[in-house]
Amino acid sequence: MERILGKSTTVTKQDNEHWISMSDLMAGLMMVFLFISVAYMHYVQVEKNKIKEVAVAYQNAQTELYNALESEFAKDLPNWDAEIDKQTLEFRFKSPDVLFKTGSSDLQLGFKSTLDSFFPRYLAVLDQFKDHITEVRIEGHTSSDWTGTSNPDVAYFNNMELSQGRTRTVLEYVYEMDDIVTQRPWIKAHFSAVGYSSSHPVMTEKGREDPQRSRRVTFKVLTNAELQIRRIIQE
């Protein structure tokens, strides 16, 4: 019996030693995982702070650019029937009858006169914020109507061709201005002409399309904040 009991005691002691070593191993692994978790949380916080810094810088630059545009053009906006959107940095010309004839991409004389006054001053404002600008997009928008057809798909593609032609005409006109010759390389690198057809209509309070207000041309500044955030994520 003593031999048996003694033998049993020896086995129990070995088992205990075995479980103690396993406990030490598990404790060590838990510490490793804890360190990894803490390190990862620190990394996430650092990246979050970087993105926050970019967002704050973007917001400040956007506000400063809006204020500069507003200061430069405040007196002209009523005469041009134009507005500046603080959130999107869109400079909108809203009088379609002044911009183009119905169904035409040829500039009206009144719009040419407006562009003659607007564009050189617009570039002068943007020049102060070039480090923050990725693209300046001249956007053309139409209503969903098209004379001679009730087919919405036909109207959409006809208006697509029209809106693209109009924005190209605007870009060609401002590009050929004598006052901005030295700016042409920057314009080539950063300006684009985009026609959206009727895909971004202006709606009334009742949720219906406002055809008159939907016909517009805008100059929209796109900043590089999104690009900077994407680079941080990729890194």
Instruction: Give the pLDDT of residue 115.
Output: 97
Q: What string of H, E and C letters represents the secondary structure of the chain?
A: CHHHHHHHHHHHHHHHHHHHHHHHHHHHHHHHHHHHHHHHHHHHHHHHHHHHHHHHHHHHHHHHHHHHHHHHHCCCHHHHCEEEECCCCEEEECCHHHHECCCCCCECHHHHHHHHHHHHHHHHHHHHHHHHEEEEEEEEECCCCCCCCCCHHHHHHHHHHHHHHHHHHHHHHHHCCHHHHHHHHHHHHHEEEEECCCCCCCECCCCCECHHHHCEEEEEEEECHHHHHHHHHHC
User: Is the pTM here over 0.95, yes or no?
Assistant: no
Per-residue pLDDT of the chain (235 residues; tens, 9 = 90+): 455 445 545 545 555 555 556 666 677 777 777 778 777 776 666 666 666 665 666 677 788 999 999 999 999 999 999 999 998 899 999 988 889 988 899 999 999 999 999 999 999 999 999 988 999 999 999 988 888 888 999 999 999 999 999 999 999 999 999 999 999 999 999 999 999 999 999 898 888 988 888 889 999 998 876 666 656 555 5
